[in-house]
Amino acid sequence: MGGFNSFSEFLAMGGYAIYVWSAYAFFVVILVFNIWQPMLARKKYFKLLLRREQVQQERAQAKQKREDMTNDSTS
Amino acid sequence: MLTVNNLYCERDERVLFQNLDFSVAEGEAWQIQGSNGSGKTTLLRILCGLNDEFTGEILWRGIEQRKARQDFNREVFYLGHAPAINKALTAKENLSWYCASRGLTNTDQIKTVLNSFNLYGYEDMPCYLMSAGQQRRVSLARMLLSQAMLWMLDEPFTALDKQGVLELEVLLSEHAKTGGSIILTTHHNLQMDYPLQSIDLDALAGLVAA
Amino acid sequence: MWQWFFKLSSPKWFYTISGQLMPWLATLTTLLLGVGLVWGLAFTPPDYQMGENYRIAYIHVPSAAIAMGCYYMMACMAAAFLIWRIKMADMIAKACAPVGMTFTALALFTGSVWGIPTWGTWWIWDARLTSTLIMLFLFIGVMALRSAYDSEAAGAKATAVLTLVGVVNVPIITYSVKWWNTLHQGASSLSLSNTAANPPQIWVPAFFVGFGLLGFYLIAIILRTRNEILMRERRTEWVDEILSASKSKGQGLS
Amino acid sequence: MSIIKATLRRELLIAFRSPGDIINPLMFFVIAVSLFPLGVGADQAFLSEIAPGVVWVTALLAVMLSMDSLFRADYEDGSLEQLLLSPQPLYFIILAKVSSHWLVSGLPLVILAPVFASMLALPEGGMFPLVAGLLIGTPILTLLGAVGMALTVGLSRSGLLLSVLILPLYIPVLVFGTGIVNSALNSIDISGLLALLGAMLVLALCLAPLAIIAALRISVSL
């Protein structure tokens, strides 16, 4: 097999290091973005739903309280 | 003629109507009732085929409306909120294109119909020179020219004066009496000497199941 | 056959199956990419013409091919959505656009970086680079149209129509750009310069990277589609169960 | 068929009653072409080299900018709804509409192009290929632009969106249009290229109206 004789030679890429490694760096960025972005969106969406449920509960409780108070005052 | 089975439509987390069933036969006049935003216009647009965001079945003479498109379009007249009048054209030019678009050659009738809508002398006037009420009457003139069996009218009385309202009411009952059918929405208190059936959308509304 | 077809169009079925498939797909993709990249980067001999720089082609060529394939896939989904009104197809089409765009961007970036030492400039109006650039514009157009519509349903249909118009154009565009390139005598195209001249050690790793990237592409599409399913089907019972299950676990990522 | 005649008549009448819609794209073409010598210098040799490209690109942009008047008014006044509810074959109505739009926006460009091409010092031999190419090419541009316009007519902020959607699709026409002129100037036979452009026109005539109808249905349902 061909390849490189040492690790530093591997990093140097025969003088093409900046091109090869920047291309591969961008490749990694794209890969990470395509996984990370939908994951983040999913997390955000779940948080939003959770928040909505909390708000609904709070409002229901507040409503309940108000009704109790009016009932107390009439009785 | 027009049969609606199990129609369902929702918008913005809200059910506009569900389990809507009715059937419009020849010589029947139907009014769609409901408060503002209850989906009257949406229902009319669904019925005439301009909106397909619904589930359920709409049959035209027993055939699904989408499949009977050409027959359906020939026999149905739809009047929307917008006048569908090009302001640069005269009343006559607007109407003669309309007749052509419906495959009719009754262009000699245009003048008579315009006269019957009290637009005598306005045939060759560009529509931007007309008042809102006059423009409305040009739109309404299409109703008679269309030779359609079923008229679907969305707020036909807007912008009409008292006289115009009366005349339109007479026109509607005449159409029904001669075997035509009407589905309309209106905020106006109809005074027609013809029995009117109604669909109440407020009763069919609801929240989308969580 | 038809049963399978309709199953596939059920969001619930897609969600369940893709969830089960995901670990396998992820493992396979990691293996393929890992082996292919290490092999391709470190253990293949340099190209007889381009030296070590050719190693960029290991990612450039498959990403360009996948970007192109992604547009065709999006078009198939658009057609399925318009003809059979399969909502699932639109969800996949929606996922295709951003993924395809990033792959196109990757192909463009790697192509121009490859070009710096080869052509002496990062951009040259080479046939393949130019048509990839146009592909990027098409993806951007599709995404822009969808986001311009407030109504989800109308936006989906409009995007599908645009995608289909685009797909009729793609071969014509590719052909016209190729022809234009020969007319103006452009530079040689970017590829593994001559497969026959190179020993198999050079192009075998390319298959590993290629299939690995394909697997990754599928994962990216599936992730986005699953999100879309959760959003659009949020009012169904089965999604509700998933959501409440994830709530009890805190921040579930299952 | 009478519906084709009636639609052509209606559209041409409207166009001639609001001549701004005809004249503005033409003025854009005229001014934009005149900007090039001011920008790149008046060197005749250089101008003659870029002339085909300049004329084609500005013509292409002018066609795109003229698209706004195709469906906008009909959408706003509700005529589009009535058109879609017509029992007549929509394909022909749309074809007539787009044709009449080309007659008032594309054809004047084709007629004006030689004047401006010679101002840009395009050699004599390039004139016929330029006009022939524009004559076949601008209808394709109008048809594709109409698809984009139909997709965006219902949106409130559609001006720039239209160019993002449509310009990439214009590329083949531009490539072959300028290619025809350049080939002729290098004394290469252009009949094959003209035929190719013609084939693209036929394809556009067959398919674009279908896409336009589908797109209009979506826009009207908004």
Q: Specify whether the CB–CB gap between B171 and B17 falls below 8 A.
A: no
Return averaged pLDDT per consecutive 10 residues of chain A, 75 residues in all: 73 84 94 95 89 87 86 66
Q: What's the gap between Cα B169 and its chain centre?
A: 14
In terms of CATH, what superfamily is B2-207? P-loop containing nucleotide triphosphate hydrolases (3.40.50.300)
Lowest mean pLDDT among B146-150, C36-40, C52-56, C139-143: C52-56
| D14, D82, D220: residue with CB nearest B98 | D82
Nearest to B49 by CA among B59, B35, B62: B59
Chains D and A touch (3+ CB pairs under 8 A): no
Task: Determine which of C90, C129, C172, C182 to mutate to test the interface with D (most D C-beta atoms within 10 Å).
Answer: C172
Structure tokens at D100: 């009449």
> B156: which chain D residues are within 8 Å (Cβ-Cβ)?
none
pLDDT attached to residue A74:
61
Task: Determine which of D164, D170, D203 to mutate to test the interface with C (most C C-beta atoms within 10 Å).
Answer: D164
- Expressed in percent and rounded to 5, the helix, strand and coil fractions of chain D are 85, 0, 15
Identify the closest residue of chain C to A3 by CA–CA distance.
C43
| D76, D78, D88: residue with CB nearest B101 | D88
Identify the closest residue of chain C to A30 by CA–CA distance.
C102
Residue C199 region by backbone torsions, left for phi larger than 0, else alpha for psi between -120 and 50, else beta: beta
- CA–CA distance, D162 with C37 (Å, rounded to integer): 41
Is B208 in CB contact (< 8 Å) with chain C?
yes
- CA–CA distance, D83 with B142 (Å, rounded to integer): 13
**pLDDT surpassing 70 at residue C249:** no
Nearest to C187 by CA among C241, C250, C120: C120
Taking an 8 Å cut-off on Cβ atoms, the answer to whether D76 and B82 are in contact is yes
Taking an 8 Å cut-off on Cβ atoms, the answer to whether A43 and C99 are in contact is no
Is A40 in CB contact (< 8 Å) with chain C?
no
The pLDDT of C81-101, averaged and rounded, is 94
Taking an 8 Å cut-off on Cβ atoms, the answer to whether D221 and B52 are in contact is yes
pLDDT band at C253 (very low <50, low <70, confident <90, very high): very low
Using CA atoms, how far residue D151 sits from C92, C104, D142, D200, in Å, is 21, 25, 14, 21
Taking an 8 Å cut-off on Cβ atoms, the answer to whether C235 and B53 are in contact is no
Give the type of residue at B17: F
Kindly tell me the burial class for residue D64, based on how many C-beta atoms sit within 10 Å of its own C-beta (0-12, 13-18, 19 or more).
Answer: buried
**Segments of chain D with pLDDT less than 50:** none
- CA–CA distance, D33 with B186 (Å, rounded to integer): 55
- CA–CA distance, D134 with D113 (Å, rounded to integer): 8
Structure tokens at A3: 């390849």
> C247: which chain A residues are within 8 Å (Cβ-Cβ)?
46, 50, 53
Query: pTM value?
Result: 0.91
Taking an 8 Å cut-off on Cβ atoms, the answer to whether C235 and B208 are in contact is yes
Return averaged pLDDT per consecutive 10 residues of chain B, 210 residues in all: 90 84 91 87 92 90 89 93 90 92 84 87 88 90 91 90 89 91 88 84 70
Neighboring chains of B (3 or more beta-carbon pairs < 8 A): C, D
- CA–CA distance, D217 with B49 (Å, rounded to integer): 10
Percentage of residues in chain A with pLDDT exceeding 90? Answer: 32
- Strands of B12-54, DSSP E: 14-24, 29-33
- CA–CA distance, B38 with B18 (Å, rounded to integer): 12
Nearest to B89 by CA among C192, D73, D209, C117: D73
| D6, D9, D78: residue with CB nearest B84 | D78
Taking an 8 Å cut-off on Cβ atoms, the answer to whether A2 and C216 are in contact is no
- CA–CA distance, D81 with D217 (Å, rounded to integer): 9
The pLDDT of C237-248, averaged and rounded, is 80
Taking an 8 Å cut-off on Cβ atoms, the answer to whether C173 and D183 are in contact is no
pLDDT band at C192 (very low <50, low <70, confident <90, very high): very low
Structure tokens at D23: 């004249």
Which residue in the block uniquely carries the two structure tokens 């699709």? D169
Buried b / exposed e along C8-23 (16+ C-beta atoms within 10 A): ebebbebbeebeeebe
pLDDT band at C1 (very low <50, low <70, confident <90, very high): low
Taking an 8 Å cut-off on Cβ atoms, the answer to whether B209 and C153 are in contact is no
Angle at the Cα of A50 (from A44 to A52), degrees rounded to 5?
105
C6 or B111: which leads in pLDDT: B111
Which residue in the block uniquely carries the two structure tokens 């009290």? B118
Q: Specify whether the CB–CB gap between B39 and B16 falls below 8 A.
A: yes
Helix (H/G/I), strand (E/B), else coil: C103: helix
pLDDT attached to residue C243:
80
> B51: which chain D residues are within 8 Å (Cβ-Cβ)?
221
The alpha-helical segments, DSSP class H, found in chain C are 2-8, 11-42, 57-84, 87-119, 127-148, 152-183, 200-232, 237-248
Assembly ipTM:
0.90
Taking an 8 Å cut-off on Cβ atoms, the answer to whether B86 and D2 are in contact is no
**pLDDT surpassing 70 at residue C2:** no
Is C55 in CB contact (< 8 Å) with chain A?
yes
Task: Determine which of C233, C235, C236 to mutate to test the interface with B (most B C-beta atoms within 10 Å).
Answer: C235
Structure tokens at D119: 């101002």
Q: What's the gap between Cα C164 and its chain centre?
A: 17
| D165, D171, D176: residue with CB nearest C162 | D165
Using CA atoms, how far residue D16 sits from C242, D11, D104, in Å, is 62, 9, 9
pLDDT attached to residue C183:
72
The alpha carbon of residue D27 is apart from the nearest alpha carbon of chain B, in Å, by 23
> B209: which chain C residues are within 8 Å (Cβ-Cβ)?
235
Identify the closest residue of chain D to C148 by CA–CA distance.
D155
- Strands of B43-191, DSSP E: 55-60, 63-64, 76-79, 150-154, 181-185
Helix (H/G/I), strand (E/B), else coil: B184: strand
| B49, B101, B126: residue with CB nearest D83 | B101
> A52: which chain C residues are within 8 Å (Cβ-Cβ)?
none
Nearest to D173 by CA among D151, D148, D198: D198
User: What's the Rg (C-alpha) of chain D?
Assistant: 18
Question: If residue B197 lies in a helix (H) or strand (E), which one and from where to where?
Answer: strand B196-200
Taking an 8 Å cut-off on Cβ atoms, the answer to whether C230 and A19 are in contact is no
> A19: which chain C residues are within 8 Å (Cβ-Cβ)?
53, 56, 113-114, 116-117
Taking an 8 Å cut-off on Cβ atoms, the answer to whether D218 and C158 are in contact is yes
- CA–CA distance, A72 with B58 (Å, rounded to integer): 54
Q: Which residues pair with B3 in a beta bridge?
A: B23, B59
Identify the closest residue of chain A to C39 by CA–CA distance.
A3
Q: Specify whether the CB–CB gap between C114 and C51 falls below 8 A.
A: no
Which residue in the block uniquely carries the two structure tokens 């209850």? B38
Q: Which residues pair with B200 in a beta bridge?
A: B33
pLDDT attached to residue B210:
44
Range of the domain at A58: 7-74
Helix axes B91-101, B109-116, angle to 10 degrees: 120
| D6, D18, D76: residue with CB nearest B88 | D18
Taking an 8 Å cut-off on Cβ atoms, the answer to whether A38 and C102 are in contact is no
Is C149 in CB contact (< 8 Å) with chain D?
yes
Q: Is residue A1 part of a domain?
A: no
pLDDT attached to residue C252:
44
A-proximal residues of C, 64-123, CB under 8 Å? 98-99, 102-103, 105-106, 109-110, 113-114, 116-117
